[in-house]
């Protein structure tokens, strides 16, 4: 729906070029019908509230809820690496293969214990039937039961050892069908979907022994990231869990909204600031861990004589500007901004109370003004 509205506005402005469309300086000439079609949400300028903002430094870090460290729990050698840094992985996908005598011994012990358990289970059930039919003595039945229970305990212990080495229930159940030469191999699977942030080994690397690498991969789901902020103690009273704040990228100035999810109960010993963590939606992947940010935390409301919504502002020739409604259409007017909180800006010069301005789809007007400037230069 929004795309259709913007398309209609653009078409209306294009018609203005062709039918009436002469522009002088910062003027954009439009008929009443064309202004209405553009849906520019004309509103008068007046007084309002602007939140006082405290800016605090921070950095983007991976979400602690969406990071996985893939480590080995056995001694072995890396025989396959199926993913490189930056590649995407699915949950459960095989990302590496380890060859290990330890896992081969553990699998062999398990298969032997399983075979013995199944045999003793069959013999026990047969002994039970014979005992109930008074064909087998009680002593022979009790010996059969003890032997069966002993095999069951050994089987379960062998199975638990495989769990401890990192095998899943599905992998353990499939072992009897696995070729003998594959017993020494152990697949490592991604525990979550995401992207490979680090790969710490190469093919042939020894892993698992003391002093050797045991963590092979770090996988991050970048759909949500955290902002790690350092907030002075004096401003902590203005921060609450669940609060919405603005976050600005140090490089490029991109802005987004973030939600406070954690406030540290203690201060950092060196900086004497409190750690505040915010959650940032990163579905489009624009926020990269390691990037520096500034968070804008509102601490109080202040009355201002003239305010405009942030959606009314555009940048023209490096300065903030708004589009003032005139009888002929719009006038692009440069303004001076004092305080702003991401939603509202205080205007100190360039506008008068009661003047009507466009507060929506203003980028369409900016584009139209730029096109007129290009045409005029030719």
pLDDT digit string, tens, across residues 156-181: 999 999 998 888 888 899 899 888 87
pTM more than 0.75: no
Q: Is 214 exposed, middle or buried (0-12, 13-18, 19+ CB in 10 A)?
A: middle
CA distances 306 to 68, 302, 341, 346, Å, are 50, 12, 14, 6
Give the pLDDT mean for 260-281. Answer: 92
Residue holding tokens 């907030």?
231
d(CA 43, CA 49): 16
pLDDT digits (tens, 9 = 90+) for 98-116: 999 988 999 999 999 999 9
Give the pLDDT mean for 187-215. Answer: 86
Q: What are the residues facing 42 on neighbouring strands?
A: 358
Between these two residues, 179 and 2, which has the higher pLDDT value?
Answer: 179
Determine contact, residues 16/29, Cβ cutoff 8 Å: yes
Q: Phi and psi for 206 in degrees, rounded to 5?
A: -85, 135
Residue holding tokens 């017993």?
183
Q: Does residue 19 have a pLDDT over 80?
A: no
pLDDT for the residue numbered 52: 78
Please report which residue ranges of the chain form alpha helices under DSSP H.
2-19, 32-38, 101-132, 138-164, 169-173, 362-377
335 pLDDT tier (thresholds 50, 70, 90): very high
Give the pLDDT mean for 269-276. Answer: 90
pLDDT for the residue numbered 190: 92
Give the pLDDT mean for 326-343. Answer: 88
Give the pLDDT mean for 360-364. Answer: 91
58 pLDDT tier (thresholds 50, 70, 90): very high
pLDDT for the residue numbered 377: 52
Q: Does residue 308 have a pLDDT over 80?
A: yes
Q: Does residue 343 have a pLDDT over 90?
A: no
Average pLDDT score over the chain = 86
Q: Does residue 209 have a pLDDT over 90?
A: no
pLDDT for the residue numbered 21: 38
Q: Does residue 297 have a pLDDT over 70?
A: yes
Q: What are the residues facing 301 on neighbouring strands?
A: 51
371 pLDDT tier (thresholds 50, 70, 90): low
pLDDT digits (tens, 9 = 90+) for 275-285: 999 999 998 88
Which residues 6+ apart lie within 8 Å of 164 measured at CB? 73
Q: What is the CA radius of gyration of the chain?
A: 34
**Torsion region of 92: left, alpha or beta (phi above 0 gives left; psi -120 to 50 gives alpha):** left
Which residues 6+ apart lie within 8 Å of 199 measured at CB? 81, 83, 84, 85, 216, 217
Q: What are the residues facing 294 on neighbouring strands?
A: 57, 248
Give the pLDDT mean for 11-26. Answer: 45
Give me the domains of the chain, ranges plus CATH numbers.
2-50+302-377 (2.40.420.20), 55-64+222-301 (2.40.30.170), 68-95+188-220 (2.40.50.100), 101-183 (1.10.287)
Q: Among 316, 377, 375, 304, which Cα is nearest to 346's?
A: 304
pLDDT for the residue numbered 340: 80
């Amino acid at each position: 729906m929004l795309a259709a509205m913007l398309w209609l506005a653009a078409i209306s402005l294009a018609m203005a070029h062709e039918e009436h469309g002469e522009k002088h300086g910062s003027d954009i000439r439009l008929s009443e019908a064309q202004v209405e079609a553009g849906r520019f949400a004309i509103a008068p300028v007046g007084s309002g509230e602007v939140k006082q903002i405290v800016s605090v430094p921070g950095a983007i870090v991976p979400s602690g809820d969406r990071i996985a460290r893939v480590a080995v729990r056995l001694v072995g050698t890396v025989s396959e690496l199926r993913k490189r840094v930056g590649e995407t992985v699915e949950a459960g996908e095989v990302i590496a293969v380890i060859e290990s005598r330890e896992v081969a011994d553990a699998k062999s012990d398990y298969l032997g214990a399983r075979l013995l358990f199944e045999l003793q289970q069959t013999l026990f059930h047969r002994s039970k039937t014979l005992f109930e039919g008074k064909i087998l003595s009680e002593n022979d039945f009790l010996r059969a039961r003890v032997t069966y229970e002993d095999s069951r305990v050994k089987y379960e212990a062998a199975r638990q050892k495989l769990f401890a080495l990192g095998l899943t229930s599905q992998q353990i159940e499939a072992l009897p069908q696995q070729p003998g030469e594959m017993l020494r191999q152990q697949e490592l699977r991604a525990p979550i979907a995401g992207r490979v942030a680090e790969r710490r080994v190469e093919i042939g690397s020894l892993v698992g022994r003391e002093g050797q690498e045991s963590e092979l991969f770090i996988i991050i789901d970048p759909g949500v990231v955290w902002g790690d902020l350092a907030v002075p103690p004096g401003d902590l009273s203005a921060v609450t869990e669940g609060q919405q704040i603005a976050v600005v990228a140090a490089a490029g100035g991109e802005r987004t909204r973030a939600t406070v999810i954690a406030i540290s109960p203690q201060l950092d010993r060196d900086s004497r600031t409190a750690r505040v963590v915010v959650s940032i939606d990163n579905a489009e992947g624009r926020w990269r861990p390691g990037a520096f940010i500034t968070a804008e935390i509102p601490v109080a409301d202040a009355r201002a004589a003239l305010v405009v919504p942030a959606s009314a502002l555009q940048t023209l020739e490096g300065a903030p500007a708004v589009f003032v409604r005139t009888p002929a259409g719009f006038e692009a007017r440069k303004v001076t901004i004092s305080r702003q909180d991401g939603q509202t800006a205080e205007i100190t010069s360039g506008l008068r109370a009661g003047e009507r301005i466009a507060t929506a789809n203003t980028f369409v007007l900016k584009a139209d003004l730029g096109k007129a400037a290009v045409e005029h230069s030719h």
